[in-house]
Amino acid sequence: MAKKRYLILSDIHSNEQALQAVFSTVKRRRYESVLCMGDLVGYGASPNAVLSRLRRLPRFVSVRGNHDKVCIGIEDGENFNGSALKAAKWTSGRLTKPNREFLSRLPKGPREVLPGVWIAHGSFVDEDTYMFSDFDAYQAFETGSFKVCFFGHTHYPVVYVQTAAGIDALPLDGSMKELILEPQARYLINPGSVGQPRDRDPRAGFAEFYPESRRVVFYRVDYNAQEAAQKITRSGLPENLGNRLLVGT
């Protein structure tokens, strides 16, 4: 019998080219569901293409991200920088009704998706809080009783591990890494960003989770970032949003 497998995505940010590369990579694999940590839209030039693709997935489970909220008017984006806010307003004006309704139904995180396994956009403490440090991870571990929590928001792939000895941060780099989850440890896992990586690796990042064997496999895949950047420029969005895709910042 085939073991259960979950596809783990985060921070797609309206990047159709990156999402297509991910799905092309895994097209022959079957998943129990696709788990997503939010920010489906914002920054990129293809919000409707991305959302329509995700809506067609038979088992898509997600929480909302901060850009998702601003793009549908739940929040005003007053804490966004100029480029991010312009992209959110641009997106808001172009969303189709079905895609807007789809975004509006995304729940607030964190959200339990399997026994002991949660997904969150930001920290377990708060959906919009970034986790950049061991102390941020400590606060999240202290707040929840989860065994594993997948999160996004920072666009940096990283694993925080809590054991009896303390908390360790395991940065991730390279094309693929595999992590075996220890039964007595707890984990905060960021698979990286599909649509706007910021770790100076422009390739799309995602992961697979095998709960029965306690494995998490991390991937980086090439995609046509040049095309995604050109679409941003042609759409009238800030040019820097396209340029950063080419260098992964």
* Structural domain includes residue 18: yes
Q: How many domains does the chain have?
A: 1
Buried b (16+ CB within 10 A) or exposed e, 109-139: bbbebbeebbbbbbbbbbbebebeeeebbeb
The closest alpha carbon to 71, from 49, 43, 52, 98, belongs to 43
The closest alpha carbon to 7, from 184, 194, 195, 200, belongs to 194
pTM of the entire predicted model: 0.96
Q: What is the pLDDT of residue 7?
A: 98
- 2 band by pLDDT with thresholds 50, 70 and 90: low
Provide the residue range defining the domain that includes 129.
Answer: 6-247
**Amino acid code (one letter) for 109:** G
Q: What is the pLDDT of residue 3?
A: 84
Q: What is the pLDDT of residue 198?
A: 96
Q: Is the pLDDT of residue 173 over 90?
A: no
Structural contact between residues 41 and 93, judged by C-beta atoms closer than 8 angstroms: no
Structure tokens given for 19: 């999402």
The closest alpha carbon to 248, from 223, 218, 231, belongs to 223
Q: How many CB atoms lie within 10 A of CB 199?
A: 20
17 Cα distance to chain centroid: 15
* CA 228/CA 17 separation, integer angstroms: 6
* Structural domain includes residue 133: yes
* Structural domain includes residue 1: no
Query: Which tens digits make up the pLDDT trace of 12-25?
Result: 999 999 999 999 99
Q: Is the pLDDT of residue 188 over 60?
A: yes
Phi, psi of 89 (to 5 degrees): -65, -40
* Structural domain includes residue 214: yes
Q: What is the pLDDT of residue 130?
A: 97
Q: What's the residue count for the chain?
A: 249
CATH number of 200's domain: 3.60.21.10
Query: Which tens digits make up the pLDDT trace of 116-134?
Result: 999 999 999 999 999 999 9
